[in-house]
Each structure stands twice: as structure tokens, then as C-alpha cells.
Amino acid sequence: KSQCSERTRPVTGYVPGVAGMSSINETNCVNDVILENSFLSNPVECARPCSESETPKTCYYHFVIERYPVQSAACDLCTPETATNSICADCQCVPADGVPRMALTVNRMMPGPSIQVCLGDLIVIDVTNKIAENAITIHWHGVFQKDYQYYDGVPFVTQCPIVSGSTFRYQYVANNPGTHFYHAHTGFNKMDGVFGTLVIRTPREQDPNREYFDTDYSSHVVIISDWMNEESTERFPGRTANGTGPTGQLPNSLLINGKGQTNFNGSTTNTSLEVITVEPNTRHRFRLINSFCSVCPGQITIEGHNLTVIETDGQPIKPIDVTSIVSSAGERYDFVIETNQPLGAYQIQLRGLELCNDIQQLGILQYASASNEINTNETLPSGIILNPSGVDCDNNPEEICISKLKSGTPIDEGLTQPETDLQFYIPIAATPTALSAATLDGIIYQSAPSPLISQFNDNPSDQVCNSQNLPSKCNDNCSCTNTLKFPLNSTVEIILVDSVISMGQPFGPNLSDMNSTTISVDYVKQLDEDGQIKRNFDGPGKDTLAVPNNGYAVLRVRANNPGFWFFHCHFIYHQASGMQMVFNVGEQEDLPPVPPNFPKCGNFLNSLQDISRIAVQSAVSQSIIAGYAPGVSGMSLINEANCLNEELVLNTDLSNAVECARTCKLGESKTCYYKFVVERYPINGQACNLCMPNATNSLCANCQCVPGDGTQRMALTVNRMIPGPSIQVCEGDYVVVDVENLLKSDSITLHWHGIYQQGSLHYDGVPHLTQCPITIGNTFRYQFFANNHGTHLWHAHTASQKLDGVFGSLIVRVPHEEELYSNIYDFDLANHVIVINDWFKEESTSRFPGRRAGVVRQIADTFLINGKGKFVDPTGSTTNIPYEVITVDANHRYRFRLINSFCTVCPGELTVEGHSLTVIAIDGQPIEPIVVDSIVSLAGERYDFIINTNREPGAYWIQLRGLNDCDANGIQQLAILQYEGAPTEPMTKEPTFKNPIPNGVVLDVASSDCSSRICGDKLRNALSIDPDILKNGSDVKLYLAIASRKYQPEEIFVPNTYNNFLSPKSISITTLSNISSSSPSCPPLTQLEDIPADAFCNAENLPSHCKPGVSCTCIHLIKIPLNSIVEINLIDDSRHPFHLHGYSFYVVGMGQPLGPIPKSDVKMTVEYFKELEKKDQIVKNFDSPHGRDNVPIPNNGYVTIRFQANNPGYWLLHCHQILHQIGGMEVILQIGEVSDMPKTPDNFPRCGNFKPKIQRTM
């Protein structure tokens, strides 16, 4: 006390110059919102000493969440030196444990910015989600949110998730003091880095613990976290024991304030340890926050210093002296250390316990002015331990359980009575199988499609349940929105009975008693009836509690805060598996009104259009057998029961996938219904012990094995298939696809690549252009006519999800009478659709924006053919996945449909041993037949070709070789063309990359060697062309330069800025016409009025923040009059494939006047192209240019395309190399006016920013 009274300076919050606290440059904390609103205070101003006489502040924070590399090039510029900089960053280096990987960061910090305010302040946080595919919410863990229930941050309980590109404003009064924290509450985002500290201080005069400490500095907030060397999604649902990579869901290391070292690849990383500076001979208050996500507790010990614990979870306790504190995920402990040791540096040791007993992390407690060298070889003695696990606390004086702590404040008398108004026994368990789900009260929690607090009645009537009110659909392991209802102001007792370890409580309950020995609810009830469970009514207040393994805990709470409150396990994988429930306190009228314009979400299941179906069985003779034909050419029978679902059973007007994959007949059309369930799913998981899929089952699966290349990883699957279900219909059919998103944090859309969507552009599937993303747990109904026939595909159009497995084929056939080439082939079978894709050994998000170490390349690790293939590692070991086998009969002519679903930069060359390929269509557009031996294709292209099976019956190799950037690594894949009844082993040696199948004549549209290969200028259209397309002039003429721009680290990693970038080798962005396009926060098709007019731009109309000659970031949009003839000249310095939505176009020009790079030192430019045009040196084909919707542009060359703009809408033109598109290489073409576009469907989902007026504190 004497030391405290002698102080003349503040002793709490941010105090630069004290205890090693460095000065923060406040300009890094200021943004436009603060500059425009003088009543707002920035983070540094709010992290102040609190005063009774001070007017509360309005504290503003802007959180930008993005995927960001650990150990990026920013670490060459700076390293976060101290915890002080956690308030707002002046360095964009995220060190972690030194192992390069992708993380999710807030303001390029991990932990994110520390919120430190005073009691009564208004906290305002604008959360901008820049993660390309994720939806996210932020929970303010420990804040009661009384009167601010809508801002608790639980998806589908208190709000809709914040979709990519949107901003959501949280605002609430800091009305309960203590050590809290914030974290993502969506999927596994918290484990990947979205967490940070939230401290609410009181004036010292009001702090019940004031007599025990002298200082409470902002730099003495310590947050500990567990950490993996890969993204957390790689461990869920989980690899099997015989897989590649870690099989468990345990961390690889621990971090202290986001920093640490670890053993990686046999050596210790060289990142710096966290250093916390203290003044000698002072009692310093520390605030410890456990942000773990996994099942392990963490034990923290400070060498040579006792810890006087004064608070837990923001609730004061009677002080207790210990040597070590054990905490589990979500817990917080405030303790005081007296710095009475000799000047020097002392270990801070964080040890993992139980399953993590081989993991630890160190920090340094440094006395001011002393050296920070420590002896890292010593293991610190545990001494007296607070909160040990698995011990009998009654008999060991050196182990203090939570039940021995005493509350430091009075307890509500209603909670100390013998009985409460309500009592619940809630068992915590896992389903009794190796493939387990987690339950509370016997129920696997399922999120509602709409938030309970604001859209309760928009949810299905049987959505909400509990163990006493189960829906009729439930069996032993019911899945629904588990909810218990409490009357307002009632007293509630909850007895948690645990056969595993669990934690979580949103209210701040008072813990009564805790012992261990029980294994069931019945046993605990019997103990209670026998008087063996004692209730200790002076126990501490908690909001997060570790329930003993195979034990129980008794909690009591006063239900005086109306709302919908989440109660869940804080082990993130257990929570994701269903160990959660909702407490509904009070009635709807007890809640504050829903904020104006509060975002809504939910399922979009618009009524099926009433279309005329003419089921006329034509008597026309069939010369072609097409689609699903069991028994023909080895096609196996499909069990149609596997194609059925509730919608098909209830609506007999609908046809299933098998019924629609038919030989088309004149005068017959169907309504074809598909249910797509998107989820994260293991490659080569345990289902592969049961079965192996074949190509026939691409219509609907009877096998849930996803083989990939045999290397275990997590993938994104549709109906547990890669490729997903094949949609095969006839022209004129009506296609209905319900897409249910079961991903834990990712939003998604599906694009129907090649379908014009005339009259149905709302279903084109481009996020923030034609629709809002489908958020987690929601279902969206796509429906459209299949009005243009051909070989198409469908795929995710959100971030890099296509690269992780969300793609499939979409075939639209016509009756043979309307088929141009019906006379030159006999079969067009469902199992002769070949989908090729590139594949990583890890999730694609691990490569974006890009690492500087480890696997740094963004090219494929391997290829797959119809989702299958083998992988040969550098040691020569081969995975055991069988090659894809495609069956044919001898002496027939088969139409094959090749779909390139690549995402990276390499072309793929397909060759079929011993068989020539007669190409008859590209991207669904017929060409004059051309015979080749090999076809080179790039991302998004499709080629139809005919094979004549006139060779000796046997097995023949199909080889897919990677070219250009994939050449150096020899990336290839094989499959087998199998003649029925013939030997199944090919007669020839397995081809390798260096000894391939001889390729003879090669079709390579954008080749740099058109003398030996067939390039695009040799292709001729098989149909007549509108003469307006072929006239010399056009109504609209555009020149679009395709490029990327390199940056220096200091240009990108500027504090308080968050520019997009790619970093596979160097730091760069991708552009069209020097514009890196950004995404609007909501679709202009349906919400144009919600987008500022100056957010759109093009080369002729740049916003004020853009400088001439410097790459600009904005929403790139070009308006085009309806029905005009449009010419676009794409000028490229590399070899990019470009796709136009809503149209096919004609390729009237293609060339390489300067030769390819690197052979040419001169790059092709728009200016040079225009010079050649003036000199009539750009050759254009107005004779019979071929049509397509996806065109590769020659390296350092150009392509000229033409089309008539007769399909009104917002249509995307973009590079189909997925990381380039994410990087900004796209433009929106607005065809016509909004009045020309179809009416928005009823109840069509809306999205966008939620930024209500900031409430000013009084």
C-alpha cells in the first residue's frame, strides 16, 4: 500500500515508458470512421487509467479479418517486439512459432488487437470479412450483453454470419468488468488465429482487489493458445490412422501472446520468445486468458515467483497463493506477482498436460533494465497447483481445485436455497462408435437456418427441440436445435455429468460443488438422493468450467438476462461435432427490439416453377444410345434408391438423376431434381475400406469413399463424391438443385459453367454479383432451364473451393434428330464423361496468399481423372488407389466428353494410347471435325471427341500430362480404356512423364508453335453465324490488358492497410486494364441501391483514390448496351484461360506477334496491339470463327472475341486460374439496364454491410 500511495503516475492501462512499454504510433490506430466522428476514441485513448469522474468513452475498432501467411515477407521488415503493440499494430509480421502456414488474422495480428476499456464505455467494432470463402461471427466471451443480446456473436442464434466482403457493426456497453476475450464463433476460425483480449477495467476505487496490486498494465495481459502446423480444417473430421500427416486433433505447439518456438523438421525454429517486462519491487496484476481449442489443459508457471490469484472469468475470488495455474479452453485467471527477486530474467513456462504432456512453450519475465537471457533447460517445479486435473483435491494440500475457491463478492441469495426453480441433469457424451459425434443431453446440436433471436418463426416448426420434446424424425442420436427454456428471473440448477471432458457456460454461473467418480446421470441422481452431493454456496463465479473426466459439476444461475444464450463445450472439435445447446431465457417481449435493418438469413427454397411437361414417348427409331444405359459397354446398374430423397418422394412430378440421364426424345421434357450436400470430408477415409467408386456412380453415389490420389487430406465434397454428382439432362429439361451447405464456416455458391441462364441470371452462382453466398447450415434452390446443349460443368465460385473438390459435370443432350453429328458415333454414354482436375496434398487455402517456406508453389501436386489416380512420391513409393477404368465394346464409335476442371496455371495434355480423337465440339459449340492424337486444354475448357474402338481388344493407357509450369515436376496421371471381355492389364509398359505415349497430332489452341500443332486459327465453326458478328466494325470495342504487378514488401505491409496480394514467389496482384477488381458487399443484380455509385470503376472512370499508372482496386464494371455487337481484345503477358458467363463468343483473332516469353524480351501491350491494328497486321477470321465460352490466350499474345450482347444481366469475365481470379483478374459486364433484367424472385436472400448509427455514450 505504501508503494501504491507514493506513485504519482497512473498505474493501469497503457502507460508508455513504464515497465518497458513502448510508445504506440496512434496514426496506426486511426481510420476514416474515427476521423469523421470526433466523438469516437481510438484504441490507445481507450486503454487508459479509469477514473470515477470521467465521462465514458465511445471506443471504436475496425477489425479486418483475412487469410494471411505466418512468417510472411513482412517479417523481413519488422517483428512485433512487445505485448504493447497488441493494442494496434505497427508491424504486419505474424511470427507464431516460426513454421510457415496460412492463418486467419485480425488486422494482420495474432492475437488480434487488444480491446481495453473502462466500465461503462461503449464499444463499437466494425468487423470486415475479407476471407474469400468464409462466413464469420465474433463472440465477446465473458461479456453479458445485457440489453445488447443481438451482438453476442453466435451464428444462427443471435445473428447471421458475416459473409465474405461484408462488414457488421457490433456495439454494446462494457457493463461487466473483468478479463474477457473475443474469438470467432464459426467453424474452426478461432483455432486458426481469430481471437484476442478484451479487458474491462474499473476505476481503482471500485476494484474489489485494489489492495492486492500496484499496477495493471495493458502489456501484462497474457493470452495463451494452442497451434497447429497446418490449418485446423485439415484435422476435421480427421485423418485415419493409416493416413499421411497427423491423425489426431492435438496441437503441434503452444503460443504465448502469439509467439514461441517449436521443433520442426528436426530443428528448433528461430522466432523470438515473448518478453514481458516488469518493474522491480512492485506488485503487478497479470490477466491470463486461455484461448486453447483442443482438449489439453495448460499449466503456467513463472520461475521464482508465486502467483496470487484474485479473479477467475472476471469474477473476484478470495485471494489464494499458488505456484502454477492450470487452465482449460476459455478460462481466465487474474493473478498478482510481486517482483521481489534479483534483477534478471525468469522463465515463463507453459506446459501442455494430459494428451499434450510433450508440448510446452516458454516466455520471459524480464525485470526492467536487466538482461533477458534465461536458462531454457530447466523444468520449473509445479509447487502448489490451482485447478489440477485428475486428482483428489480433498487429500492433497498442494493441489487446489476450483471447488475450494471462495467468491470474493456476495452471492444471490436465491442461489443459496436448498432448491431452485428448475433443475436439469445434462449428460455429456459421444456416440458409441469410432466415427463419433458429440452430444449434450443425448442430442447432436444442429444450427437453425435462421437466428433464433431475430427470426425464430422463420425456422421449420420441428427445428427446436430438447430431450423431452424430440421431433418425429429423431432416432437414438437426434440432430436438432437443442434448446432449454427458462422463465425470466428463475433460479436454475444444472448438473453436468461427463464421461469425457467438456466446458462452456455463457452466463457466469456460481459453481457449487465438484467431485469425480460418476459415469451416468442415474448414478449422479442416486448420489444426490443419498445426500452425497454437497452444495457449497460460497463458491466462485465462473462462465467457463472444466468438468472432471468421468465426473460431474453442479452449476447454479439466476436467469435474469433475457435472450438466447449458447451453452457449449469449448473444445472446438467437440463443439463442431454437436456438443452444444441453447438456453432461451424469458419471452420475446422481454428482449430489446430487433435493430433496424438487422441482417436476415435462412433457407431459400422458392416454389418450383410450374412448367409444362410433355411426356410423349416418341416412336422415333434411335440410332444413338445415350446417357445411363446399364449393361451397355460395361455400364453397371445403379440402385436408384440411392438417388432418392424426401423432395423426390413427396413430389412425383420430379425426376431423379438416373431418370434424367436418358436418351433424349423429341417432345419429352422432365423436371430434374438434385440435392447437393456440401461438407468437409476425408480423402481415402474409412469409407474406402468398404467400397471404391466407379465412373457410373457419378450420377448418384452408392459408395462414400473419396479416393483422390490416396494421400489423406480433407476435401470439400458434394454428396461425398469428387467429382460431385453428374447432372445429365436433355435440352428443355428444367433443372432444380437444392444446395445445402454443411461446412462449418465456409459460405459457398455454385456456378453452372456454360449455361447461358437466359431469364434465370439470379441462378448464375456468382457471389456478391448474382446472389448472396449460401451461409453455413443454409439451403439455396437453384432452378433453370437447360436451354443450351453441350458439355458443361458446375463448380464452386467462392474462393478456391473448386480446387478442394466442389465441381462436377453438367451434360445437356439433344435427340439424335437434332444432333449435328449423329451419323458419326453410336454411343454417348453417361460413364464416358471424363473430368480432369489438378490436386494439392493439402487444402488449397494453405497456398493462398502463399508461403515463403515449405511448399511455396501454387501449381498442382498431382492430377486426377474422374477423381482418382495414383501418386508417386520422390522416393518412388506409390499410393494404392486403382486407376480410373473406362469401359467400351469393340468396333463401336463412342462420344467422349472431356471437362477440364483445373484451377492452377498448367495446361493438361490428354492422349489415349492407340486411338485417334475426332474433336467435334468445344465448350458445347460444334466445330468441323478434326482428327488429332492429343488434346491440350486449360482450366474451364471442354472438348467432345469420338473414339473408334477398332483396335485389338485389350486395355489401353489414357495419359494426362502437365505442361509448362508442371513440366519441371513431371506431373501426370493415368487411366485405362478397357475393352469389355478383354485382358485388363495393358500390353505396353506404363507410360511416364519422360516416356509418354507418342502424341502425333496435337490440338493446342493457344500454342506457341502453330507450325507443328493445331492452333485455334485452324478451327472452323460447324454452324452458320449471324452476319452482324462478322462485319468489320463492332458497336462496342474493348481492350483489356491482362497482367500482374510485383510489389516490394514495404509497399504492401503498411500498418492499418490491408491490400490483397499473392506471394507464391514474389509479392504481386493480378489485374485487368491495371485494375484489381474487388467484390461488392452485396449483389448489384438485386441490391444495386445498397452499393455506393463510386465503388464501381473501369479504365475510363477511376475513383479518386486511384492514381494514373498505378494499379487500382475497385469493383471493375463495364456497361454494354443491350443487343450491341461487342468486340473484346484480350492482351496477355502470360497464358491465361478466360471465361465469360451468360454467353458463348466467337474467336475472330488469336496471335503472338512478338513470340512467347521468355523467348521474347518484349512484352505484348495494348499500345503495341493498337499499332498493329492501324497497320492491318492483326489478322481476323470473319469466315467461320469457332465458338466457345472459355478461351486460352497465347503466352505474350492476344485473343479477339465477338458476341452479340442479347442476354441482359451482370456477367463475369474472368481468368479461370482460380488464384488469379481471387487476386482481382476479373471484370463485370453489365449488359443492358436494370430494367431489362428479369424480376428478382420472391424472398430472394439479401446480404451486405450492417453499419447502424453509432450510439453515443452520455
Helix (H) or strand (E) holding 1171: helix 1166-1174
On the question of pLDDT at 616 being above 70, the answer is no
Q: List beta partners, residue 268.
A: 263
Q: What is the dihedral of CA 1162, 1166, 1168, 1171, to 10 degrees?
A: 170
Write the CA distances from 1039 to 275, 585, 1212, 1215, integer angstroms: 55, 61, 16, 15
Residue 281: its pLDDT value, please? Answer: 96
625-1003 maps to which CATH number?
A: 2.60.40.420
Mean per-residue pLDDT of the chain = 92
Residue 622: its pLDDT value, please? Answer: 52
Instruction: Give residue for cell 456438443.
Output: 579
**Each residue's pLDDT tens digit, 682-722:** 999 999 999 988 765 689 988 999 999 999 999 999 999 99
How confident is the model over 661-689, as a mean pLDDT?
Answer: 96
The C-alpha atoms of residue 665 and residue 650 are separated, in whole angstroms, by: 26
**Each residue's pLDDT tens digit, 897-956:** 999 999 999 999 999 999 999 999 999 999 999 999 999 999 999 999 999 999 999 999
On the question of pLDDT at 513 being above 70, the answer is no
How confident is the model over 578-605, as a mean pLDDT?
Answer: 97
The C-alpha atoms of residue 967 and residue 261 are separated, in whole angstroms, by: 37
- Can you say how many angstroms the Cα of residue 316 is from the centroid of all Cα atoms in its chain? 39
How confident is the model over 529-536, as a mean pLDDT?
Answer: 90
Of 967, 951, 1249, give the one whose Cα is nearest residue 1091.
1249
Residue, of 170 and 618, whose pLDDT is higher: 170
- Can you say how many angstroms the Cα of residue 460 is from the centroid of all Cα atoms in its chain? 27
The C-alpha atoms of residue 192 and residue 204 are separated, in whole angstroms, by: 36
How confident is the model over 1169-1186, as a mean pLDDT?
Answer: 95
Among 149-158, 332-341, 382-391, 617-626, where is mean pLDDT lowest? 617-626
Residue 437: its pLDDT value, please? Answer: 81
The C-alpha atoms of residue 708 and residue 715 are separated, in whole angstroms, by: 9
**Each residue's pLDDT tens digit, 463-485:** 999 999 999 878 777 899 999 99
Residue 621: its pLDDT value, please? Answer: 41
Q: Do domains 2-404 and 413-590 have the same CATH topology?
A: yes
Q: Tell me the three cell numbers of residue 1196.
A: 505474350
On the question of pLDDT at 810 being above 70, the answer is yes
Cβ count near 921 (within 10 Å): 24
Of 664, 774, 679, 670, give the one whose Cα is nearest residue 717.
679
Residue 265: its pLDDT value, please? Answer: 87
**Each residue's pLDDT tens digit, 977-1015:** 999 999 999 999 999 999 999 989 999 999 999 989 999
The C-alpha atoms of residue 405 and residue 317 are separated, in whole angstroms, by: 7
CATH class given for the domain over 2-404: mainly beta
Helix (H) or strand (E) holding 60: strand 58-69
pLDDT > 90: what percent of the chain?
81
675 pLDDT tier (thresholds 50, 70, 90): very high
The C-alpha atoms of residue 185 and residue 151 are separated, in whole angstroms, by: 12
* DSSP calls for 564-579: EEEEE-SSHHHHHTT-
Residue 620: its pLDDT value, please? Answer: 39
Of 217, 198, 14, 226, give the one whose Cα is nearest residue 112.
198
How confident is the model over 858-869, as a mean pLDDT?
Answer: 95
Cβ count near 942 (within 10 Å): 29
1036-1236 maps to which CATH number?
A: 2.60.40.420
The C-alpha atoms of residue 997 and residue 992 are separated, in whole angstroms, by: 8
453 pLDDT tier (thresholds 50, 70, 90): very high
The C-alpha atoms of residue 298 and residue 260 are separated, in whole angstroms, by: 15
On the question of pLDDT at 1162 being above 50, the answer is yes
* Burial readout 88-123 (b: 16 or more C-beta within 10 A, e: otherwise): bbbbbbbbbbbbbbbbbbbbbbbbbbbbbbbbbbbb
**Each residue's pLDDT tens digit, 1111-1151:** 999 999 999 999 999 999 999 988 999 999 999 999 999 99
State whether residue 438 is helix, strand or coil: strand
How confident is the model over 1069-1093, as a mean pLDDT?
Answer: 96
**Each residue's pLDDT tens digit, 1217-1242:** 999 999 999 999 999 999 999 999 99
Q: Are strands 478-486 and 443-445 parallel, antiparallel or unpaired?
A: parallel
**Is the Cβ–Cβ distance between 701 and 709 less than 8 Å?**
no
Of 830, 894, 856, give the one whose Cα is nearest residue 1065.
856
Of 331, 263, 270, 274, give the one whose Cα is nearest residue 297.
331
Tell me how far apart the terminal alpha carbons of the chain are, to the nearest angstrom. Answer: 34
Q: Tell me the three cell numbers of residue 478.
A: 437426434
On the question of pLDDT at 613 being above 70, the answer is no
On the question of pLDDT at 1256 being above 80, the answer is no
505 pLDDT tier (thresholds 50, 70, 90): very low
Strand segments (E) across 537-655: 551-559, 563-568, 580-585, 625-627, 654-655
The Cα angle at residue 1173 between residues 1168 and 1177, in degrees rounded to 5: 95
Half-sphere exposure of 55 (CA within 13 A, CB side): 7
Q: Tell me the three cell numbers of residue 1117.
A: 464494371
Q: Where are the domains of the chain?
A: 2-404, 413-590, 625-1003, 1036-1236
297 pLDDT tier (thresholds 50, 70, 90): very high
Residue 698: its pLDDT value, please? Answer: 86
Of 498, 481, 495, 497, give the one whose Cα is nearest residue 444.
481
**In this structure, which CATH number among 1.10.3720.10, 1.20.1260.10, 1.10.3210.10, 2.60.40.420 belongs to the domain 413-590?**
2.60.40.420
How confident is the model over 280-296, as a mean pLDDT?
Answer: 97
**Each residue's pLDDT tens digit, 536-563:** 899 999 999 998 888 899 999 999 999 9
On the question of pLDDT at 1255 being above 90, the answer is no
Q: What is the dihedral of CA 699, 703, 705, 709, to 10 degrees?
A: -50
Instruction: Give residue for cell 456478391.
Output: 768
Q: Do you know the residue count of the chain? A: 1258
Write phi, then psi, for 721 (nearest 5 degrees): -140, 145
Residue 432: its pLDDT value, please? Answer: 54
- Return the DSSP state at 257: T
On the question of pLDDT at 612 being above 70, the answer is no
**Is the Cβ–Cβ distance between 156 and 448 less than 8 Å?**
yes
The C-alpha atoms of residue 423 and residue 367 are separated, in whole angstroms, by: 51
**Is the Cβ–Cβ distance between 171 and 122 less than 8 Å?**
yes
State whether residue 784 is helix, strand or coil: strand
1 pLDDT tier (thresholds 50, 70, 90): very low
**Each residue's pLDDT tens digit, 1020-1058:** 999 999 999 999 899 999 999 999 999 999 999 999 999
